[in-house]
Structure 1
Amino acid sequence: MKAAILALLMSVTSATAPSPQQAASIDGRYCGRLWSNGMLVEAITVLKLAGDGRLTGSYTFIDGDTRTPGTLTEDPPGKGLARTLDWQDMYGSGKLSITLQPDFSSFTGTWQDQTGGPNELWDGVRC
């Protein structure tokens, strides 16, 4: 009985945990927060590395009783763990500067609007 329960737990754990290959890739979904309208709100950021080396993606964040979507693009393609992306949503556009952990398990960053200010928090952990 104990062996069956242990086997079941191990299969559930391995089914939900990212594989080593997934964990070693930028591509993925990151759950975190961003600063919006005077408060930290829940955000989901999806990142994908395109064939030409550009980082692209999308995001949604809690906006009152709804979720606001947006897009992310990198131009020109970056290199390494520090990247700068352009964000755009219904409120405007600007720059998002992120630094990824070497295993791509999370990122920390700040965003600015098109005027260059302010620098506000945006982060995420792979989920």
Structure 2
Amino acid sequence: MHYLVTMSFILSLFMNTTAQAVADFSGNWSTTWGKGSLISNMILQQSDSSVNGSYTYQGGNISGKVQGHVLMGTWYQQDNGARGTFSFTLSPDGQSFKGRWRNGASGPWLKDVWNGVKY
């Protein structure tokens, strides 16, 4: 009986740790979007599951939340007033992400991707 209680406790600790683990998007990224023709450097800082950062194109700012290996949030470009939402999925090695984006808070995702490589 003691063995079952101990194993149940250890298993519950492992499951809680696994469920709470989030990917780390912090760092410097070289990103491309559109049809791959637009290139912008992005710097992201992460605290727990919250991510904030900036990118060089049009004075861009980005913020979001990480769940598992996916970062979802909003982007805003100071220079032209454009804004929208995004979703980035981090690769298993944490060195790249594949993303999608759209203008505004809803509606269809654009066919163009927003991908990044850590440098």
Shorter-chain TM-score: which interval? Answer: 0.5 to 0.7
Over the aligned positions, Cα root-mean-square deviation in angstroms equals 2.1
State which structure, 1 or 2, has the greater radius of gyration over its C-alpha atoms.
2
Report the counterpart of residue 125 of structure 1 in structure 2: 117
C-alpha change, 1:26 and 1:72, in structure 2 (3 Å) is same
Correspondence 1:25-104 to 2 at 5 A:
25-35=24-34, 40-51=37-48, 53-61=49-57, 68-74=58-64, 77-89=65-77, 90-104=80-94
CA offset digits 1:12-55 (Å, max 9, x no partner): xxxxxxxxxxxx942111112111xx77211112221124x211
Distance 2:50 2:88 in 1: 14
Number of the residue aligned with 1:116: 107
- Equivalent residues in 2 for 1:9-28, closer than 5 Å: 25-28=24-27
Q: Would you say how many aligned residue pairs link Structure 1 and Structure 2?
A: 93
Q: Within 2, Cα distance between the matches of 1:111 and 1:95?
A: 6
Structure 1 residues 45 and 116: CA distance shift in structure 2, 3 A = farther
TM-score normalised to structure 2 length: 0.67
**Unaligned 5+ residue runs, structure 1?**
1-23, 62-67
Unaligned runs of 5+ in 2: 1-22
Q: Any idea what SS the aligned residue of 1:78 has?
A: strand
Quote the sequence identity (%): 26
Structure 2 vs 1, CA of residues 25 and 78 (structure 1 numbering), >3 Å: closer, same or farther? closer
